[in-house]
Amino acid sequence: MKKTLILGGKDKHYEVIDFLKGFSITTIVIMHLMQDNITLLPRILHIVSSIGGTGVHVFIFCSGFGLYLSHLHKPKSYFSFLLARMNKLYIPYILVVFIAFLIPVTYTGENRVIALLSHIFLFKMFVPEFEGSFCGQLWFMSTIIQFYLVFIPLCSLKKALKKTSNFMAVTLFISVCYWIMLLLINKTDIRVWSSFFLQYLWEFCFGMVCAEKFFKGEKINLSHSLLLVISVVGIGCQAFMALSSGVLKVFNDIPALFGYGSLALLIYSVGFMNKIILFLSKFSYEWYLTHMLIFTLIYLLAPSTLAGQVILGIFALILSVFIALGYQKLLKKFLKK
């Protein structure tokens, strides 16, 4: 095993990005399974599993990377870009929402029909009551759609600022200002505010910057020792800030991205999980959309023992993979037609 991870270069397909996407979705799914369903686990395991939620930051980074790399290869107009991306994102998402709508246990609020309409017409991203309706993880769809809406303007901003350092400085400044604003207006714990795209703007744009480096054939050399130090310090700082007062918690995105991202790259370097994670990355979006619906239905059985919950959890996890894979194949046939 080499002691240095080399990213970029002349390769046209960046396996490491596929790995990061697959790894982030995998840890998110496992976190949801452990925290929401295997409730009898020791508290320390629930706390440790919460690190999996940090995968959201890496996934946003990968989204910025993938979108900008595609843009560099083949630029599109604003509306042609939106049409292409929304077809791939919106149809699979709304189909899952509609299925969840038909299942009574997925929503306990009074305004069930309006909640469905909030997803269809995308106004849930402005209404706290509906932001996590039907399946809690669907809050993320609002954030991604917001990034789609501003992506082409971000490309124009990057071009206007010319220097990469200027682009990163401006976008990080915007995110920091947004974090401070959330503190001042006391909205840090309200999802429609804390998951607004400005919260994650800097890491999405960081993905764009890395995509440009890779597009130009530049290499990034990362030693394993450096990755280990960053992962330990980053995850440690993230945990401390998340468990402390609301002031520090707002600013934990930076150590979260670099700590979790470095850990993922270190695991990628070792290579023993690569085939599994790269396989899961092929249908990671469909898995993200469907996994909580599967878990909710499976855990209606409500085992009363830890052993029962764990066994059911393993079954639910395997079943969610097969259903996501099948859903992806059905979508391909549908969208092809």
pLDDT, tens digit (0-9, with 9 covering 90-100), for 241-296: 877 766 777 888 999 999 999 999 999 998 888 999 999 999 999 999 999 999 99
Q: Is the predicted pLDDT of residue 329 greater than 80, yes or no?
A: yes
Question: Which position has the higher pLDDT, 30 or 272?
Answer: 30
Model pLDDT, residue 44: 86
Q: Is the predicted pLDDT of residue 109 greater than 90, yes or no?
A: no
Q: What number is the average pLDDT over the span 173-202? A: 94
pTM of the shown model: 0.93
Q: Is the predicted pLDDT of residue 2 greater than 80, yes or no?
A: no
How far is 284 from 263, CA to CA, in rounded Å? 19
Contact 268, 16 (CB under 8 A): yes
Which of 317, 319, 299 has its CA nearest to residue 309? 299
Which of 58, 72, 60 has its CA nearest to residue 155? 72
Q: Is the predicted pLDDT of residue 60 greater than 80, yes or no?
A: yes
Question: Which position has the higher pLDDT, 337 or 119?
Answer: 119
Model pLDDT, residue 9: 62
Q: What number is the average pLDDT over the span 67-95? A: 92
Q: What number is the average pLDDT over the span 218-240? A: 90
How far is 169 from 178, CA to CA, in rounded Å? 14
Q: What number is the average pLDDT over the span 25-36? A: 94
**For the chain, what is the mean pLDDT?**
91
Model pLDDT, residue 210: 93
Name the H helices within the chain. Answer: 15-36, 43-49, 55-73, 78-101, 112-120, 128-131, 139-161, 164-185, 191-194, 201-215, 224-243, 246-250, 253-270, 274-281, 284-298, 306-336
Q: Three-class SS of residue 20?
A: helix
Model pLDDT, residue 137: 93
Model pLDDT, residue 45: 86
What would the two tokens of residue 16 be? 């490491």
Q: Is the predicted pLDDT of residue 12 greater than 60, yes or no?
A: no
Model pLDDT, residue 90: 93
How far is 93 from 90, CA to CA, in rounded Å? 5
Q: Three-class SS of residue 223?
A: strand
Q: Is the predicted pLDDT of residue 13 greater than 70, yes or no?
A: no
Model pLDDT, residue 245: 62
Q: Is the predicted pLDDT of residue 152 greater than 90, yes or no?
A: yes
How far is 51 from 45, CA to CA, in rounded Å? 10
Model pLDDT, residue 332: 86
What would the two tokens of residue 10 be? 């002349």
Q: 319: number of CA atoms within 13 Å, CB side?
A: 15
At 14, phi and psi to the nearest 5? -100, 90
